[in-house]
Amino acid sequence: MDASHLRTILWLRWRLSRNQWSRGGPLNAVLTMVVTAAGLLIGIVGGLIGLLAGVFLLTKTSPDGLLVLWDAIVLGFLFFWMIGLISEIQRSETIDISRMLHLPVSLRGVFVVNYLASHLTPSVILFLPGMLGLALGLALGRGFSWLAMLPLALGLLFAITAWTYCLRGWLVTLMMNPRRRRAVIAIVTFTFIVVMQLPNFLGNVVFRHKHQRPQASESVSAVDPNEPFVRPPTKVVVGEPVLIAHKVVPVLWVGHGAMSLASGSVWPAALGALGLSGMGALGLRRAYRSTVRFYQGSARAKRPKRKRPVTPTVTPGTFLEWQLPGVPDDAAALALTFFRSLSRASEVKMMLATNFLMMLFFGAMILMPRSSPVSDTMKPFLVTGAVAFTFLGLAQLMFNLFGFDRSGFRALVLLPVPRRQILLGKNLAFLPIAAGIGLVLFALVKFALGVSLVVILATGLQLLAAFSLLSMLGNLASILVPHRIASGSLKPTKTSTMTTVLLFVSRLLLPLALLPVFLPPALGVLFAKVRWAAAGSTNLVASAVVLAILALLYWLSLNLLGDLLQRREQQILDIVTHEIE
Residues 560, 430 share a domain: yes
Q: How far apart are CA 273 and CA 132, in angstroms?
A: 14
Let me know if residue 226 belongs to a domain: no
3-state secondary structure of 403: coil
- Which parts of the chain have pLDDT scores under 50? 90-92, 205-225, 228-234, 299-301, 314-315, 371, 581
Residues 358, 265 share a domain: no
**Cβ atoms of residues 478 and 400 within 8 Å:** yes
Which residue type is seen at 77? F
* Helix axis angle, 453-480 to 535-567, nearest 10°: 20
Enumerate the β-bridge partners of residue 485. Answer: 492
b/e per residue 217-250 (b: at least 16 CB within 10 A) = eeeeeeeeeeeeeeeeeeeeebeeebeeebeeee
Residues 405, 462 share a domain: yes
Residues 414, 287 share a domain: no
Q: Where does residue 389 rank: exposed (0-12), middle (13-18), buried (19+ CB within 10 A)?
A: middle
Let me know if residue 409 belongs to a domain: yes
Q: Can you give 481-516 as a three-state secondary structure string?
A: CCCCECCCCCCECCCCHHHHHHHHHHHHHHHHHCHH
Report pLDDT for 544.
92
Let me know if residue 217 belongs to a domain: no
Total domains present in the chain: 2
Let me know if residue 230 belongs to a domain: no
Report pLDDT for 90.
47
- Please enumerate in sequence order all residues whose Cβ is within 8 A of that of 581, keeping only pairs 6 or more positions apart, or say none: 486, 493
CA 455 to the chain's CA centroid? 34
* Helix axis angle, 419-449 to 379-392, nearest 10°: 140
- Going by C-alpha positions, the residue among 462, 480, 385, 394 that lies closest to residue 430 is 394
b/e per residue 143-166 (b: at least 16 CB within 10 A) = eeebbbbbbbbbbbbbbbbbbbbb
Q: How far apart are CA 161 and CA 33, in angstroms?
A: 25
Report pLDDT for 576.
83
Enumerate the β-bridge partners of residue 492. Answer: 485
DSSP H helical ranges for 90-148: 107-118, 122-142
Let me know if residue 499 belongs to a domain: yes
Residues 355, 399 share a domain: yes
Q: Where does residue 12 rank: exposed (0-12), middle (13-18), buried (19+ CB within 10 A)?
A: exposed
Among 281, 296, 311, which residue terminates a domain?
296
Residues 276, 370 share a domain: no
Report pLDDT for 398.
84
Report pLDDT for 344.
75
Residues 354, 292 share a domain: no
pTM exceeds 0.85, yes or no: no
| Cα-based angle 53, 54, 55 (whole degrees, multiple of 5) | 95
Q: How far apart are CA 407 and CA 576, in angstroms?
A: 7
**Cβ atoms of residues 271 and 247 within 8 Å:** no
3-state secondary structure of 324: coil
- Going by C-alpha positions, the residue among 111, 71, 379, 429 that lies closest to residue 251 is 71
Which residue type is seen at 176? M
Residues 335, 290 share a domain: no
- Please enumerate in sequence order all residues whose Cβ is within 8 A of that of 572, keeping only pairs 6 or more positions apart, or say none: 402, 409, 479, 482, 565
Report pLDDT for 204.
52
Q: How far apart are CA 113 and CA 94, in angstroms?
A: 9
Residues 461, 371 share a domain: yes
Residues 494, 425 share a domain: yes
pLDDT tens digit string along 189-233?
Answer: 566 656 655 555 555 544 444 444 444 444 444 444 455 444 444
- Going by C-alpha positions, the residue among 406, 412, 381 that lies closest to residue 525 is 381
Report pLDDT for 549.
94
Let me know if residue 216 belongs to a domain: no
Q: How far apart are CA 65 and CA 548, in angstroms?
A: 64
Q: How far apart are CA 209 and CA 465, in angstroms?
A: 39
Measuring CA to CA, how many Å separate 541 from each of 61, 521, 546?
67, 10, 9
**Cβ atoms of residues 178 and 341 within 8 Å:** no
Residues 9, 103 share a domain: yes
Q: How far apart are CA 282 and CA 289, in angstroms?
A: 11
Q: Where does residue 276 rank: exposed (0-12), middle (13-18), buried (19+ CB within 10 A)?
A: buried
Report pLDDT for 221.
44
Residues 571, 464 share a domain: yes
Q: How far apart are CA 252 and CA 266, in angstroms?
A: 16
Q: List the domain range (segments joined by +) for residue 84.
A: 3-208+240-296
For residue 58, the 8-state DSSP code is S
Let me know if residue 61 belongs to a domain: yes
Let me know if residue 374 belongs to a domain: yes
Report pLDDT for 365.
56
